């Protein structure tokens, strides 16, 4: 077979290889529909780089470096932290390198100098390699929690990188050693494979634990919101009963004051009566208990902190959106708004607007803040010391927004922070 024919066949095989990489990345990242064109461009760049390097450069080390860089380029089309993108790029490379090492052993290739030009492939080995990669990734995709958007601790991700680095070192040793005992080679491959699957298992398990912890905290918060809402309802009911009971007596007093003609006393008495009639404030009365509970609870607490509240909420009680998702969005955003507004040096305020128009929910929250912000890679980052627990709010909101193919925009001026969300139901 001529070199030209071989290269043409490789280009077709690499299309399947790029699809295999797509399957791997989709296991760890959730594709944002807004970035489909960028995603296609990144995968196309990956295809071009890997094809050109394979056809024109036969140096193993350059192949390794270009592969890792190409994987990282692909991750740029996904929304996630930089450390996670680096981690997944390395994991992807190590996983696929295992397949290549196994195939190299099967066809009897060894003692490769990573810095020298070496041509060691053939058509059958290419096909075997891509099939093995596909099988490995299909197995990895059986882990259900790998694609979660939960923010993983840096310490864990760095540990994953170190473990994969050890795997890389072992695989390179197998590639470059001469006259390796077959039994030792197979045992080493099995150990490397197990080591990598342990990493995936731990990643999956820890993600699951974090998910369960967040769900547990949400349930506790909802119970607290419902309890507070019940207290507000009960207090309103008691106030109403008391006013009805006292109404007759108040009318008798007002009637006597009118007869006496003392205008000042009448005005004072009526003013006091109106003030006493004022019921406990209710910022939301949509008829949806979960939504009313969280809004009333959060904004009532905000007012106790001296924060001025302005709210306009107009959504039907037949809203088809999962109410728990709505609670997750509002809970996180209102928590952030209250925390920020409470630290504002001058005017403390929160403006909440929620509207429903023809299958679309619009949420707008504006609040004052002290002007201090922390941003990394154009993303807002919590300024609290306990970043592990407080840094997941916006990410959780964004994850829920993506669930409804929605959009979220965050902006700020000198002393005002604004979050706007569109949800398509």
Pick the more confident residue, 134 or 242.
Answer: 134
Does 221 reside within a domain?
Answer: no
Lowest mean pLDDT among 62-66, 222-226, 345-349: 222-226
Give me the DSSP letters along 77-124. Answer: TS-S-HHHHHHHHHHHHHHHHHHHHHHHHHTT-----TTSB-----HH
59 and 194 both lie in a single domain:
yes
User: 290 and 150 in one domain?
Assistant: no
Cα(360)–Cα(401) distance, integer angstroms: 12
Residue 331 predicted with pLDDT over 80: yes
Same structural domain for residues 28 and 161? yes
* pLDDT of res. 307: 92
Task: Identify whether residues 288 and 209 lie together within a single domain.
Answer: no
Q: What share of the chain is helix, strand, coil (3-state, %, to 5)?
A: 65, 10, 25
Do the domain assignments include residue 175? yes
List CB contacts of 92: < 8 A, sequence separation 6 or more: 21, 24, 25, 71
Q: Which residue has the tokens 């106030």?
A: 239
Q: Are residues 19 and 119 in the same domain?
A: yes
The model carries a pTM of 0.56
Number of domains comprising the chain: 2
| SS3 (DSSP) at 361 | strand
Sort 383 into a burial class: Cβ within 10 Å, 0-12 / 13-18 / 19+: middle
Q: Is residue 367 part of a domain?
A: yes
Residues 6 or more apart whose CB falls under 8 angstroms from that of 260 comprise none
Domain boundary residue, one of 186, 216, 246 = 216
Q: Domain containing 27: what range? A: 3-216
Is 109 domain-assigned? yes
CA gap 332, 389 in Å, rounded: 12
Report the C-alpha gap between 100 and 39 in whole angstroms: 26
Rounded to an integer, the average pLDDT of 319-348 is 86
Same domain, 78 and 180: yes
* CA 88 – CA 75 distance, rounded (Å): 8
Q: What is the pLDDT of residue 176?
A: 65
More confident residue, 193 or 342: 342
Last residue of a domain, one of 196, 216, 236: 216
Residues 75/89, Cβ–Cβ less than 8 Å: yes
> How sure is the predictor about 237, in pLDDT bands with cuts at 50, 70 and 90?
low
What is the mean pLDDT of the segment spanning 196-209?
80
Average pLDDT over residues 73-87: 84
* Local confidence band at 158 (pLDDT 50, 70, 90 cut-offs): confident
Residue where one domain finishes, among candidates 159, 182, 216: 216
The rounded mean pLDDT for the chain is 78
Are the C-beta atoms of 133 and 103 separated by less than 8 Å? no
Flag whether 237 is in a domain: no
pLDDT higher than 90, residue 201: no
**Domain with 355 in it: what CATH number?**
3.30.565.10
In a domain, 142, yes or no: yes
Between residues 415 and 227, which one has the greater pLDDT?
415
Q: Mean per-residue pLDDT for 89-93?
A: 86
Q: Are residues 200 and 312 in the same domain?
A: no
Asked, for residue 409, whether it belongs to a domain, the answer is yes
Condensed to tens digits (0 to 9), the pLDDT of residues 243-266 reads 666 777 777 777 777 888 778 888
Backbone conformation region of residue 362, classed left if phi is above 0, alpha if psi is from -120 to 50, else beta:
beta
Does 230 fall in a domain? no
- Say if residue 378 is in the same domain as residue 297: yes
Q: Tell whether the model's pLDDT for residue 398 goes beyond 60.
A: yes
- How confident is the model over 273-324, as pLDDT tens digits? 766 655 456 788 888 877 887 888 888 889 889 999 999 999 988 888 888 7
Share of the chain above pLDDT 70, in %: 77
Predicted pLDDT of residue 180: 63
Contact in structure between 282 and 296 (CB atoms under 8 Å): yes
Give the C-alpha separation, 199 to 202, whole Å: 5
Residues 203 and 78 in one domain: yes
Between 78 and 156, residue with greater pLDDT:
78
């Amino acid at each position: 077979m001529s070199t030209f024919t071989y290269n043409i066949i490789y280009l077709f095989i690499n299309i399947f290889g790029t699809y295999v990489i797509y399957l791997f990345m989709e296991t760890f990242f959730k594709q944002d529909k807004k970035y489909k064109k960028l995603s296609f461009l990144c995968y196309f760049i990956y295809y071009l780089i890997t094809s050109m390097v394979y056809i024109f450069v036969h140096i193993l080390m350059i192949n390794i470096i270009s592969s890792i860089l190409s994987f990282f380029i692909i991750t740029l089309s996904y929304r996630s932290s930089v450390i996670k993108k680096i981690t997944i790029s390395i994991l992807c490379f190590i996983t696929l390198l295992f397949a290549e090492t196994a195939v190299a052993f099967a066809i009897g290739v060894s003692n490769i100098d990573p810095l020298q030009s070496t041509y060691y492939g053939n058509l059958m080995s290419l096909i075997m390699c891509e099939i093995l990669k596909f099988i490995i990734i299909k197995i990895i995709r059986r882990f259900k929690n790998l694609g979660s958007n939960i923010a993983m601790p840096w310490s864990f991700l760095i540990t994953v990188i170190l473990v994969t680095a050890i795997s890389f070192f072992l695989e390179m040793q197998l590639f470059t050693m001469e006259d390796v005992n077959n039994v030792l080679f197979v045992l080493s491959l099995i150990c490397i494979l197990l080591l990598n699957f342990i990493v995936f298992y731990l990643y999956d398990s820890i993600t699951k634990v974090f998910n369960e912890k967040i769900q547990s905290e949400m349930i506790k918060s909802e119970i607290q919101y419902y309890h507070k809402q019940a207290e507000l309802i009960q207090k309103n009911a008691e106030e109403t009963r008391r006013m009805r009971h006292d109404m007759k007596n108040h009318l008798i007093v007002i009637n006597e004051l009118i007869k006496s003609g003392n205008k000042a006393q009448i005005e004072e008495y009526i003013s006091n009566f109106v003030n006493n009639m004022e019921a406990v404030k209710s910022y939301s009365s949509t008829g949806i208990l979960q939504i009313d509970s969280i809004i009333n609870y959060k904004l009532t607490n905000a007012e106790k902190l001296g924060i001025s509240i302005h709210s306009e909420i107009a959504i039907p009680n037949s809203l088809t959106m999962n109410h728990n998702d709505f609670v997750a969005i509002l809970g996180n955003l209102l928590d952030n708004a209250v925390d920020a507004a409470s630290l504002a040096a001058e005017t403390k305020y929160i403006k909440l607007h929620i509207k429903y128009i023809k299958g679309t929910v619009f949420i707008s929250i504006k609040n004052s803040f002290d002007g201090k912000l922390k941003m990394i890679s154009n993303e807002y980052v919590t300024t609290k010391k306990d970043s592990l627990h407080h840094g997941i709010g916006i990410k959780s909101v964004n994850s829920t927004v993506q669930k409804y193919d929605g959009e979220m925009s965050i902006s700020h001026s000198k002393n005002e922070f604004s979050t706007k969300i569109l949800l398509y139901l």
